[in-house]
Amino acid sequence: MNSLKRFREAMQRGTPDRVPVAPMVNVPHASRVLGVKPWEYVTENKLYVKGQLKAWRLYGYDWIFNHQPIQGITREERRAMRVENGFVVLPTELGTTLKIPLEGGPAVKEPALKSYDELDKLEMPDLDKPERWEPLKALLEKTKGEVYICSKVPAPFHYAAEWMRGMENFMLDMITQPIEVHRLLEFMTEVAIEIGKRQIDLGTHGIMMEDPSAAAQVISPVHYREFAYPYEKKVCSALRKYGGEVIIHICGDTTPILEDLAKTGASCLSVDESVDLRDAKRRVGKRVALFGNVSVDTIYRGTRAEIEGNVEKCITSAGSEGYIVSSSCGLHAGTPIENLKVMVNAGKKMGAR
Amino acid sequence: MDIKKAVIEGKIYEIEELISQALESGKASNDILKEMISGMEVVSDLFERKVYYVPETLLSAHAMQRGLDIIRPLLNYDKVEVQGKVLIGTVAGDVHDIGKNLVSMFLEGAGFEVKNLGRDVPTQVFVEETRKYKPDILGLSAMMSTTIVKMREVIEALEEAGLRDDVLVIIGGAAASESYAREIGADGYASDAAKAVKLCEKLMKERGKRELVKEIPRSHAARHA
């Protein structure tokens, strides 16, 4: 059984020959493996593809996480890139300006919307530019159906909060101007669905939607059900109808909203370490596959025994049916390559039937 | 509606009017401050018990800020008891500051004097501000796993500058943890804003409450710097 078949089997809540292993190899780690600066990895599509492929070959895990939120960087975006106070500043087509430190991952410098009056002028990013799809095409071509390629779409709630309005504004907007918030979320939902459909057309195997701002430490279940859930559901059902399968990842606690998440139409839920996998399996295991949740803290600084112990605990709690062993979140910057090797190898060994 | 309730319910559009009315009817600004602080204590408790989440808590904090903006120039500082001075900021490279702002507002609500350096604060700025502002406690926040290493850097820089013994360093944010605090030699860790207030109160008790501080900086302005 190759990685692609193994991963697909688990996504359909089946029991493959062994539990698939799929750590969330993100900007800091992939650039580290490739030996380039994080900003080079983020802004050069070729380096991005190289980094992901090199990490996949090095560790031999079962997926590739095609994690750029609006996919490949276009020529226009690259042209607008500049260096400011030791940061690489990257304006995006959604109107959000990102900044990337010389070491470390990208963060939002300026959210797109100062007020909701600007919402009517907002345009869908141009998805016809060929550079957007260079990374996904290259990853599919180079891996020839060996491995599960999972491509990211921007979750409406999280990207509305972090990219479009800024977190603090958005949190207040939910109470003070909910109608405008819903208008923005409708727009972001269209963006996510459109990006997802293009990825499915090109042949992506799965879709990843990360919605951390909807975590239960941040908003109440009531707010989750009003502002996050309906749009997660719209994206998942539209993409499912279009032939895709979606993993929703929320870093942070999702214990109070697991049943809701399972009803979004997602095929799989990726949970953080604050969620008890055994409890999650019991509550939603009949509806969705589970993904997670070896502590990124342990992978970062744990001993071999601690990392192996954590992997074992996850696999014992979740069982080998409908389960993919992964990190609880994106890997910490500075995670030693040796440590991730221990995690991946432990997953392969302990997850075997 | 009274002022305490306006803070608890986050009445950002009504609180200014309420305070003006109270002042006109002869209420002392220091008493208004006390009412707002007791409102914030309730908010902090609701947040800790997961009745309030980030949006509700932020709304209350903003209501309190609007109130503070009115009464700050009117306060009689001889009668304001200050719990301690806290300098706070999010480390370099990290632009997440919602949690840190909540900590800052809760601390103000609990009677601390707070200087908020904002987000993405270079290590050297923490050192210089510690030297100038002489806080009892320095709070460092990091949300991202990619920036947490900066916390260690700040502590080392404080040591190099000979300032480490003058200030208690506490850390928080999604990327931080109790064990990380121990590892880098910080004096404490709190997992949320309500716990951060309790931690600061505990640390101040151990250190001994400082002398009355008469000069309170315009921390609201500092927040938006």
Residue whose C-alpha is closest to residue B176's, from B150, B202, B203 = B150
Angle, helices A337-350/A304-318, rounded to nearest 10 degrees: 40
pLDDT tier at B96, thresholds 50, 70, 90: confident
The answer to whether B173 and B136 are in contact (CB under 8 A) is: no
CATH code of the domain covering residue A75: 3.20.20.210
Nearest C-alpha in A relative to B102: A168
Distances (CA, A) of A338 to A26, A103, A299, B77: 16, 20, 10, 57
Rounded (5°) CA angle A271-A68-B119:
80
A105 lies in some domain: no
Taking residues B201-208, report their average pLDDT: 86
Place of tokens 């709070």: B139
A66 lies in some domain: yes
Residue whose C-alpha is closest to residue A250's, from A329, A195, A149, A322 = A329
Task: From chain B, pick out residues whose CB is under 8 angstroms from the CB of A297.
Answer: 177, 179-180
A87 lies in some domain: no
Residue whose C-alpha is closest to residue A49's, from A62, A76, A68 = A68
A102 lies in some domain: no
- Taking the Cβ of residue A119 and every Cβ of chain B, the question of whether any pair is shorter than 8 Å is answered with no
CB under 8 Å to B91, separation ≥6 — which residues? B120, B121, B123, B140, B141, B142, B147, B148, B150, B151, B154
Rounded (5°) CA angle A195-A197-A201:
120
Task: Chain A: give the shortest CA distance to residue B78, in Å.
Answer: 34
CB nearest to B58's CB, from A107, A172, A251: A172
Tell me whether strands A148-154 and A107-110 are parallel, antiparallel or unpaired. unpaired
pLDDT tier at B78, thresholds 50, 70, 90: low
**pLDDT score of A349:** 97
Which domains, ranges and CATH numbers included, belong to chain B? 3-79 (1.10.1240.10), 85-223 (3.40.50.280)
Q: Which residues pair with residue A270 across a beta bridge?
A: A249, A291
A248 lies in some domain: yes
Burial (CB < 10 A; 0-12, 13-18, 19+), residue A153, is buried
The answer to whether A203 and A137 are in contact (CB under 8 A) is: no
| Inter-chain CB proximity A333 and B149 less than 8 Å | yes
Q: What is the DSSP letter of A18?
A: B
Taking residues B22-33, report their average pLDDT: 92
Q: What is the DSSP letter of A78?
A: H
Range of the structural domain that residue A324 is part of:
3-79+127-350
Q: How far apart are CA A200 and CA A306, in angstroms?
A: 39
What value does the CA radius of gyration of chain B take, rounded to a whole number of Å? 17
Angle, helices A229-241/A178-202, rounded to nearest 10 degrees: 20
> Which region, left, alpha or beta, applies to residue B2 given φ > 0 means left and ψ of -120 to 50 means alpha?
beta
Q: How far apart are CA A267 and CA A27, in angstroms?
A: 25
Taking only the tens place, the pLDDT of each residue in B98-111 is 888 889 888 987 88
The answer to whether A9 and A152 are in contact (CB under 8 A) is: no
CB nearest to A223's CB, from B53, B96, B174: B53
Identify which has the larger pLDDT, B222 or B157: B157
The answer to whether A215 and A249 are in contact (CB under 8 A) is: no
CB under 8 Å to A57, separation ≥6 — which residues? none
Q: How far apart are CA A349 and CA B105, in angstroms?
A: 49
- Taking the Cβ of residue A300 and every Cβ of chain B, the question of whether any pair is shorter than 8 Å is answered with yes
B146 residue type, one letter: T
For residue B82, is pLDDT > 90?
no
Q: How far apart are CA B34 and CA B43, in angstroms?
A: 14
The answer to whether A322 and A10 are in contact (CB under 8 A) is: yes
Taking residues B35-42, report their average pLDDT: 90
Name the domain count of chain A.
1
Task: Chain B: give the shortest CA distance to residue A307, in Å.
Answer: 16
| Inter-chain CB proximity B101 and A168 less than 8 Å | yes
For residue B218, is pLDDT > 70?
no
Rounded (5°) CA angle B125-B128-B130:
105
Burial (CB < 10 A; 0-12, 13-18, 19+), residue A89, is middle
A63 lies in some domain: yes
CB under 8 Å to B96, separation ≥6 — which residues? A107, A167, B90, B119, B141, B142, B143, B144, B173, B174
For residue B210, is pLDDT > 70?
no
What value does the CA radius of gyration of chain A take, rounded to a whole number of Å? 19
Q: What are A196's two structure tokens?
A: 């997802």
Task: Chain A: give the shortest CA distance to residue B216, in Å.
Answer: 26
Optimal mutation site among B9, B13, B47, B53, interface A, most CBs of chain A within 10 A: B53
A118 lies in some domain: no
Distances (CA, A) of B163 to B80, B88, B118, B133, B157: 28, 16, 21, 12, 9
Q: Which residues pair with residue B86 across a beta bridge?
A: B114, B137
What parts of chain A have a pLDDT lower than 70? none
CB nearest to B145's CB, from A99, A174, A296: A296
**pLDDT score of A213:** 93
Q: How far apart are CA A345 and CA A5, in angstroms?
A: 19
Taking only the tens place, the pLDDT of each residue in A146-177 is 999 999 999 999 999 999 999 989 999 999 99
In percent, the amount of chain B with pLDDT more than 90 equals 54
A73 lies in some domain: yes
Q: How far apart are CA A182 and CA A157, in angstroms?
A: 10
Taking only the tens place, the pLDDT of each residue in B117-167 is 988 899 999 999 999 999 999 999 987 766 788 899 999 999 999 999 999
**pLDDT score of B79:** 66
Task: Chain B: give the shortest CA distance to residue A258, in Å.
Answer: 17
A9 residue type, one letter: E
Identify which has the larger pLDDT, B82 or B137: B137
